[in-house]
Amino acid sequence: MTTEEDQGASALPACLRELPSRLLSQASAHATRLVTEELGAADAHKWHYATLAALEEFGPASQAALSGRTGIHRSDLVAVINELAARELVERTPDPVDRRRNVITLTAAGRRRLHKLEQLLATAQEELLSPLSETEREQLVGLLGRLVAHHAHGGPTMGADDR
Amino acid sequence: MTTEEDQGASALPACLRELPSRLLSQASAHATRLVTEELGAADAHKWHYATLAALEEFGPASQAALSGRTGIHRSDLVAVINELAARELVERTPDPVDRRRNVITLTAAGRRRLHKLEQLLATAQEELLSPLSETEREQLVGLLGRLVAHHAHGGPTMGADDR
DNA sequence: CTAATCTCAGCAGAACTGAAATTG
DNA sequence: CCAATTTCAGTTTTGCTGAGATTA
| pLDDT of amino acid B155 | 45
- A residues 128-147 lying closer than 8 A (beta carbon) to B: 128-132, 136-137, 139-141, 143-147
Burial B44-77 (b: 16+ CB within 10 A, else e): bebbbbbbbbbbbeeeebbbbbbbbbbbbeeeeb
pLDDT above 90 (res A138): yes
Q: Does A158 touch chain B (CB under 8 A)?
A: no
* 3-class state of residue B43 by DSSP: coil
> Whose C1' is closest to the CA of B72: which nucleotide?
D15
| pLDDT of amino acid B154 | 63
pLDDT by residue (tens digit) across A48-65? 999 999 999 999 999 999
pLDDT above 90 (res B13): no
Confidence of residue A163 (pLDDT cuts 50, 70, 90): very low
- Identity of the residue in A5, A68, A121 whose CB atom sits nearest the CB atom of B19: A121
pLDDT by residue (tens digit) across A97-136? 999 999 999 999 999 999 999 999 999 999 999 999 999 9
Mean per-residue pLDDT of chain A: 89
| pLDDT of amino acid A142 | 97
pLDDT above 90 (res B144): yes
| pLDDT of amino acid A155 | 57
A35 vs B contacts (CB less than 8 Å): 21
CA/C1' separation A37–D9 (Å): 30
| pLDDT of amino acid A18 | 87
Mean per-residue pLDDT of chain B: 89
- Estimate the crossing angle of helix B46-58 against helix B63-70, to 10 degrees: 110
Distant-in-sequence contacts of A104-107, Cβ < 8 A, 24+ apart: A104/A51, A104/A55, A104/A60, A104/A61, A104/A62, A104/A63, A104/A66, A105/A55, A105/A60, A106/A52, A106/A55, A106/A56, A106/A60
| pLDDT of amino acid A136 | 98
- Identity of the residue in B16, B21, B148 whose CB atom sits nearest the CB atom of A9: B148
